[in-house]
């Protein structure tokens, strides 16, 4: 079975160590996921948007590592906004167990932050993947628009009327 391909968003200024920890965890033989892209400092916002959108096309889901200063990071908030626009499955990961971590500003109110343990991470990767696949499947299973059946031809109606007389 192939590994789940993950893009990771994180605060470059404060949480690079958390990204490196997740990267090391992904390299384990039984991790079940591989990191194929991450936040990066780029010049123009248009170039960053295009590069991020291209990266999201190659991944199965996104992990947003939340640290103490994540709510202050405009980069993480912008990246998560693009992830949401592209309807890519994602979840938030509590990066610093001993400290109060914050969500990106663009996170939805009902987005929970999940504890970072190997088991919870593995479970959340699978749950998020299934949720994303379910939404894709549900979109394909939508009932087509109702098709109007043509009304009987006027000639048939006049033939019925002629028989009655």
Q: Select the more confidently predicted residue: 137 or 10.
A: 10
Query: Alpha-carbon distance 123 to 161, whole Å?
Result: 70
Q: Select the more confidently predicted residue: 139 or 93.
A: 93
Helices (H), the chain: 16-26, 45-56, 74-85, 118-140, 154-164
pTM of the model: 0.76
Q: Select the more confidently predicted residue: 128 or 74.
A: 74
- Give the pLDDT score at 44: 47
Helix (H) or strand (E) holding 66: strand 61-66
Q: Per-residue pLDDT averaged across 25-38, rounded?
A: 90
List the domain boundaries for the chain.
4-145
Whether 144 has a pLDDT exceeding 90, the answer reads no
Assign domain 4-145 to its CATH superfamily.
P-loop containing nucleotide triphosphate hydrolases (3.40.50.300)
Q: What is the mean pLDDT of the chain?
A: 82
């Amino acid at each position: 079975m192939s590994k789940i391909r993950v893009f990771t968003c994180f605060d470059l200024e404060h949480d690079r160590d958390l990204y490196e920890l997740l990267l090391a965890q992904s390299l384990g033989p039984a991790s079940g996921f591989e990191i194929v892209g991450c936040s990066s400092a780029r010049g123009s916002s248009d170039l960053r948007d295009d590069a991020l959108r291209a990266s999201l096309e190659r991944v199965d889901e996104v992990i947003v590592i939340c640290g103490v200063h994540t709510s202050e990071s405009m980069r993480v908030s912008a990246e998560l906004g693009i992830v949401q626009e592209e309807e890519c499955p994602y979840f938030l990961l509590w990066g610093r167990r001993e400290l109060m971590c914050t969500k990106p500003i663009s996170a939805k109110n009902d987005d929970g932050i999940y504890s970072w343990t190997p088991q919870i991470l593995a479970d959340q990767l699978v749950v998020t993947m299934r949720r994303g696949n379910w939404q894709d499947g549900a979109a394909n299973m939508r009932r087509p628009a109702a098709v109007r059946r043509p009304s009987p031809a006027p000639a048939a109606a006049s033939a019925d009327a002629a028989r009655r007389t």
